[in-house]
Chain A
Amino acid sequence: MKTTAQETPSKRPVYVELDDVWVAYDGKWILKSIILQCYAGEIFGIVGPNGGGKTTLLNVILGLVRPAKGRVKLFDQPPGTNSRLDIGYLPQISRADRSFPVTVLDVVMMGLYSKLGFFNRPDRQSKEIAMNQLSQVHMEDYATRPFGILSGGQQQRVNIARALVSKPKLLILDEPSTGVDSVAQEDFYELLAKLRDEQGISVVMVSHDIGMMTSHADRVACLNTQLHYHGEPDSCFIPDVQEKVYGKDMKVMVHDSKCVTCFHRHEDHD
């Protein structure tokens, strides 16, 4: 399913569509004229400096921030409570209180609460679904442990199980590399690729970690108030674009075959 230069992704359904989206906060533009499309079955990475509007962009997609101008569509509908049931969200690690009295299984079950609806309690079946999801991320042996004692990488795997347990079509990840060691990161991105390939799940993730994004995303956009490029990972490193996003003194230190090659392939909407 990985998007290649030969295959146009546009034949697949569009899960996320932002059309000329502008967002202001306290009289300052945080996002300007954002045009973005994320297709079914692709990993879409957004990189950019802190304060460049990455989290705001995610909040727009999630429907938590309403743009001043422009149009947002999720699964061909305006974002709202219904479309949220099809979204799995992985927040930055370590936001939640480590001493909170929940087990690993409790945390995964929370991912089912919204689908269960009011008045319904999680039953044996929900427990089984949650356990299956835990084994998919190889954390089933930790089910009864307190969540707070796990390492950063383990917590991330449990949180991704929570995001996946309601069988979403789209995963939204905020800085997935924060607080996770590099071995755990590799495992994590492998899992994302597997979900994309086997279940056709789409992933939208933001990070300031360019290296991780370029090696694991199918397409990468660079965001600093505006989306500076919208295409394949490598093309983020056109020196001109890179300078606009990160400033003059930024040095690229990505050592793989795709690194710093300067070709520019336009998508049809660019």
Chain B
Amino acid sequence: MIEIFRFEFMQNAFMAGMMLSLVLAVVSFFVVLRRLSFIGVGVAHSAFGGVALGALLGISPTLTAIGFAVAVANAIGYIGKQGKLSTDTAIGIFFSLAMALGVIFIGMSEQYNVDLFGYLFGNILAITRTDLVIIAVLGTLVLASIFIFFKELLFVAYDREVALVSGMPVTFLDHFFLTILALAVVISMKIIGIVLVSALLVIPGAAAAQITRRYVSMIAVAVVVALISTIGGLFISYYADLASGATIVTLASAIFFITFAASQIRK
């Protein structure tokens, strides 16, 4: 085995990276088609408030982050639906509120043993076996629910109005997807980071959209892009001694620009 896999933390990181690639790629397919990338940013940042609350209460930051992210995602969806305020505005408010609460919680907390910087920008060393189990369980839940409601989610993403008129439970599906998005964010924050994960909620889907016009192949391409980015990013970050999350996102962006250029040339 090559040197990099001698360390248990690297094995964990690679396994987590592969599982997350699958989850984030499928979620990004819908994020791109439904133009929800800014919600992705908002929900990701709101997880920070949850992590800080976990640190304050001395309970698992993953658990509190799930609570925070799911609540914020659904609150944004709810307010956007009332029509008095744009979703964009709702995101702007909640995103900063959750971050502000996070800072307050940290200030109140006596203990400094939670690696907040790691949660913000990703820390490859932080992935434990327990994290792997959490990623596997929640990741499977996310993928299975998307699989079950795929045709409904696709219809609503494509033509919301006609989907609604034909009897689809559009409001339920919106909140359902926002909840899934929040879960995907939370399981990715340790390795990629709260600040950087929103990139992987967009780039795989966006790169795939440059290459293909069929949804099945778009999902497949998105998965490949995400896998190359995370696996490649982990290798580069290890050998070049760079931050893992940032390397993954930079590599993903590079792939996006290549696919974008290729689609421009093909025109």
Contact = CB atoms under 8 A, between A and B. Distances in A.
A49 interface: no
Contacts of A100: 33, 157-158
B168 A114 contact: yes
A95 B155 CA distance: 14
A106 B148 contact: no
A166 B159 CA distance: 17
Contacts of A162: 162
A84 B166 CA distance: 6
Interface in B145-181: 148-149, 151-152, 154-155, 157-159, 161-168
B215 interface: yes
Interface in A100-121: 100-103, 106-107, 110-111, 113-114, 116, 118-119, 121
B151 A113 contact: yes
Contact of B215 (A96, A101, A114, A116): A101
Interface stretch (A85-93, A193-201, A226-234, A239-247): A85-93
A67 interface: no
Contacts of A95: 159, 161
Nearest to B148: A119
A111 B163 CA distance: 8
B207 to A, nearest CB: 13
Contact of B159 (A91, A101, A119, A121): A91
Contact of B152 (A84, A102, A118): A118
B140 interface: no
Interface in A133-180: 146, 148, 162, 166, 172
A62 interface: yes
Nearest to B149: A118
A167 to B, nearest CB: 13
Given A96-B159, A101-B209, A101-B218, A166 B165 contact: no
A58 B158 CA distance: 21
Contacts of A113: 151-152, 155, 163, 166, 168
B86 interface: no
B215 A102 contact: yes
Contact of A101 (B163, B165, B212): B212
B214 A146 contact: yes
Given A85-B167, A113-B152, A146 B162 contact: no
A110 B164 CA distance: 12
B173 to A, nearest CB: 11
B20 to A, nearest CB: 23
A86 B130 CA distance: 51
B213 interface: yes
B14 to A, nearest CB: 30
Contacts of A118: 148-149, 152
Q: What's the interface size class on B, roughly?
A: 20 to 34
B147 to A, nearest CB: 10
B165 A87 contact: yes
A102 B151 contact: no
Given A101-B209, A113-B155, A106 B165 contact: no
A121 B154 CA distance: 12
A162 B33 CA distance: 20
B33 A62 contact: no
B165 A84 contact: yes
A111 B165 CA distance: 11
Interface in B108-165: 148-149, 151-152, 154-155, 157-159, 161-165
B161 A91 contact: yes
B215 A91 contact: no
B197 to A, nearest CB: 24
A99 interface: yes
B151 A122 contact: yes
Contacts of A89: 161-162, 165-166
Name which of A96, A116, A146 has the most chain B CB atoms within 10 A of its CB.
Answer: A96
Given A101-B213, A101-B214, A101-B215, A81 B161 contact: no
Given A102-B154, A106-B215, 14 more contacts: A62-B165, A84-B167, A85-B167, A91-B159, A91-B161, A96-B158, A99-B209, A101-B214, A101-B217, A107-B158, A110-B151, A114-B166, A148-B213, A162-B162
7 contacts: A84-B165, A96-B159, A99-B213, A100-B158, A101-B33, A110-B154, A122-B151
Interface of A: 62, 64, 81, 84-85, 87, 89, 91, 95-97, 99-103, 106-107, 110-111, 113-114, 116, 118-119, 121-122, 146, 148, 162, 166, 172
3 smallest CB-CB distances across A and B, nearest first, come from A146-B213, A84-B167, A89-B165
